[in-house]
Amino acid sequence: MKIFNSLVFNGNAAEAAEYYHKILKGKMQVVTYKDMGMDFGDEKIGKLIARATIKGDDFYIACSDDSEFVGQPDTQTSKMYVSALFDTADQAKEFYDYLAKDAVAIRVPFSESPFAGGFGWVMDKYSVGWEITGEIRFGMDKLD
């Protein structure tokens, strides 16, 4: 089984996918609602993102525009954040700095912590929460 994150945006999923792809690298594929034949004859809906995927060796993230834009109101509300784990604190800091430069909020400034060589929590410019950890000392390292 593989579990991955799907991030939902309010009409700016293409911009967000490009933003994340810039730092994550990997391969990216973008599919619009028009590409899927789900534009309902509306040019504006057709340009929205049904699924933009960014895939690397150790990650897979999907971005899409909210279904409310295609006539399916979102009635669910949930809180979530993305956890990004890096081998080194330096790698984690580079990723943190990239997201923090345009962040809506810094929840936890990046620094050494009891459980990792580096940890920080940021709400990026799209209000997606990222918990960024590098050089894990105990706890999550048991995931392998």
Read off the pLDDT of residues 96-105 as tens digits, 9 standing for 90 and up.
Answer: 999 999 999 9
The Cα–Cα gap between 88 and 104 comes to 25
Task: Name the residue with tokens 């400034």.
Answer: 109
CATH class of segment(s) 81-143: alpha beta
| Same topology between domain 5-68 and domain 81-143 | yes
**For the chain, domain boundaries:** 5-68, 81-143
Pairing of strands 60-65, 49-55: antiparallel
Read off the pLDDT of residues 46-75 as tens digits, 9 standing for 90 and up.
Answer: 899 988 999 998 888 889 887 665 555 555
CATH code, 5-68: 3.30.720.100
Model confidence, pTM: 0.74
